[in-house]
Amino acid sequence: MNQKRILLVVGAHAADFVWRAAGIIAVVTKHGGRASVVALTYGERGESGELWKDPNQTVENVKRLRHEEATRAAEILGATFQCFDLGDYPLQIDAQVLERLTKLIRELAPDVIITHTERDPFNPDHPLASAAIQRASILASGSGVASGFSTIKPAELFLFEPHQPEHCGFVPTTFVDISAVFPLKQLAMEAMASQSYLHQYQTDIAKYRANHARRISGRTDIQYAEAFQRVTPQVVDIL
């Protein structure tokens, strides 16, 4: 497989990519690939807890700080970051947003798209983002036959690990060894100061998933891993 992959990571909120996919982003860019991160919102209301401890805090200031944090985290990983700034809790997706996402996917023509699980009973925005990306991806690529609009090669779709995997129906089918790039993931997490309570937690998750990856593969050198759920069936020349 060509190691120079084009990766698109789409999260409902500015920091979702850091906790759930920073490792694979760094692996892709380390191998000469391109990684783009899109956040549909800054997570300014629902996922910026530390910043709201300041009694004089404002939504605009939280957005500004979150933009700085996420841009810095993406830079550390060698990725680009953009935010649609649609407003969080609740996120709203209309036809214009869907069109914008479809256009973005057509222009990027990613090999791989990673987003949220389709279900998340503890987060009102994540499933909406997942559904929108999946729709946009199909609109960008067509449904496998000639279409009356321009299409790109279908991207492979993966879901990243949610905070409460069992409740979201998350089944890890793919593990990525992120040991070599884990220092970069740590730096990216540190850049998201507004959610500092997640740093140690996500480090523990990476070790826990590495344990699974070692047992499955026999690769004893894996120290840190990220887990993903593959949605697109694989087409291969040999098993």
Question: What are the two backbone dihedrals, phi and then psi, of residue 10, each rounded to the nearest 5 degrees?
Answer: -120, 125
Give the interface segment with Zn ion, choosing from 14-22, 34-42, 94-102, 138-146 (CB under 5 A).
14-22
Q: Are strands 34-39 and 6-11 parallel, antiparallel or unpaired?
A: parallel
Q: How far is the CB of 213 from Zn ion (least distance, A)?
A: 24
5/67 with CB nearer Zn ion: 67
- Strands of the sheet containing 6-11, edge to edge, are 80-83, 34-39, 6-11, 112-115, 156-160, 225-230, 174-177
Give the interface segment with Zn ion, choosing from 8-16, 90-98, 100-108, 128-136 (CB under 5 A).
8-16
Of 8, 16, 17, 69, the one binding Zn ion by CB under 5 A: 16
Of 5, 13, 185, 209, the one binding Zn ion by CB under 5 A: 13
Q: How far is the CB of 40 from Zn ion (least distance, A)?
A: 9
Should residue 161 be labelled a site residue for Zn ion when binding is judged by CB under 5 A?
no
Closest to 13 (Cα-Cα) out of 43, 58, 36, 45: 43
Should residue 163 be labelled a site residue for Zn ion when binding is judged by CB under 5 A?
no
Query: What is the residue type of 87?
Result: G
Should residue 120 be labelled a site residue for Zn ion when binding is judged by CB under 5 A?
no
Q: How far is the CB of 74 from Zn ion (least distance, A)?
A: 16
Q: Facing residues of 136 across strands? A: none
State the residues that interact with Zn ion by CB under 5 A: 12-13, 16
